[in-house]
Structure 1
Amino acid sequence: MAHCVPYALVDVFSDEPLQGNPLALVPDADELPQELMPRIAREFNQAETTFLLSPTRPGADWRLRSFTAAGVEVFGAGHNALGAWWWLAAIGRLGHREDRPWHQQLGSEVLEVGIAGGPDGLVDVTLRQRAAEYGQELTDRTALARALGVDDEDLGAGGGDRGAGGGGIGAGGGLPVAQVVSTGAAHLLVGLRGRAAVDAAAPDAARLRALLPGVGGQGVYLYALDPAEPGADVHARFVNPVAGITEDPATGSAAGPLACLLRRHGPAVGDRVTIAQGHALDRPSRIQVTFADDVPSVTGRAALAAEGTLRLPVHSLRARTS
């Protein structure tokens, strides 16, 4: 016998299926044993799989638990959360609320979520992250260049040619070459001199796994300030060998820290930064970061790509743990 559990596949940070970052979503997951969740995530083999549960902290409307394909639980407010809230809104699970925002429980934290209908009828989801925490810089340029598969002279963000699309936010001479920043998940942000260097990078997972723990970083966000995509400010790629992610098409948990770093060191203008990601994977994605009182929020859309049913062995559900 099998126990049937519904699931959805949502493409996040795009409003079209087969673009953006795929997210496997398992709603109403309270009855699933904790030890089964990473196994289900491995079965889906997506960058992340999110489980929707009843909250355990006051003020939260939903509790989210997210696991990578390697079975590692992650807690950042990125595509894992945005796709889940978009799905809840899109299928009518949230109802109508204007008097107050929604709140999500991620780990031990409760964070604000905004849901808004755009003029085109599509749903925008905004996730409030934490204020930025600035960690260590990685100063060994030779080791970093080797781990990223780039030339040493490519390290350091600059304005490049500002791109065919006319985007970009100018030269970033005051930016650190590589620094860990967290707004919920700590990632190493590495500036390169142009988008060609970002696209040509060939990260070495073993070398990065050796480097990242020393500076307290989880993943690596490569970026340049000369995006080709019109309206974007930054061109980026993300890898996270520590969590088993070869490359991610869109990474909200890294976009927030990067926007904070750009604002801190001057090249970002105003309270809005738009990041283009996913082009190297032929899954173009767009992430918008805005600020209120120096706290970043990530906004994006999503599209439903698939729905189906998991068939789980009944014996796997007998020993439920919380």
Structure 2
Amino acid sequence: MADRLTENDVTPKHIYLRRREFMAGGAAMLGALTLGRDALATPADWMQQKIGAGFDTTMATDERITPFEDASTYNNYFEFGTGKSDPVNRSGDFRTDPWSVEIGGHCRNPGTYALEDIVQPKDLEERIYRLRCVEAWSMVIPWLGFPLASLIERMEPTSDAKYVRFETLYDPDQYPNQRAWFPAMDYPYVEGLRMDEAMHPLTLMAVGMYGEALPNQNGAPMRLVVPWKYGFKSIKAIVKIEFVSEQPANSWAVMQPREYGFYANVNPNVDHPRWSQATERRLPSTGLQANRIPTRMFNGYEEVAHLYEGMDLTRHRYI
């Protein structure tokens, strides 16, 4: 079919030209990694150097990739505002350097780790994943990152670790809506995964997209991407990871338990209380050309279905 194209056919030309430049300069980039941290001026610099050192491309798709302009300007990031353009308009001064992540709970290697030490160039991959939001819109994005499982293995969780809890930055000076929006939301934003979900090969810690380091509005410097779940599960700007024995109370489920819950698996057969989930609006989409397509179970990632055998997916789609 004419609309079933490969990533090379649909990714903007300048992205792939830049990507080839990075790959050609891989040896030089690797040399730069030996510099002291003071020589790496910004996280975008050192992150781009690690990205430029080369990465594997896996899990390609024949779906149309969403143009970068859409993926970077139409976002849910409520710490910056409720409008879809608020994140790009309000995040320009968001500081991601220095950045560290506190890792603790039931694991043998707890500590506060600089992001430079968490991101391992050898683990970086490009994965083209769909991102499906509860509001019935979706994108196809080439993410850059590493399997969450590789980080979990380095931390050596104990048998008491049944879930992984994630927490985003709390900084009302940088996040205006942490102070002003939704008093019922108990910031910082919290999300969580069951351990087997966190260890699944599809689960990605993303540090870039479209061949570049993550933009601030898309969750820089590091975010979670869980492609078979609704977008609110893919927490942004992570500063804390904790291995816990009890199911974490994730932020949206605490604030609106009738509408949101812990699992949030994409399920076209069960409507949100206020709208249908049977179809989605794939971006780019306009009022004159609404690119509406059927929603697929688990967002099309049927290889995760075994994780939920025996569960009532009607009950566990949100609550």
TM-score exceeds 0.5: no
- What TM-score, normalized by structure 2, do the two folds share? 0.24
When the two structures are superposed, what TM-score results if normalisation uses the length of structure 1? 0.24
Q: Which has the higher contact order (CA 8 A, sep 6+)?
A: 1
The structure that is strand-richer by fraction is: 1
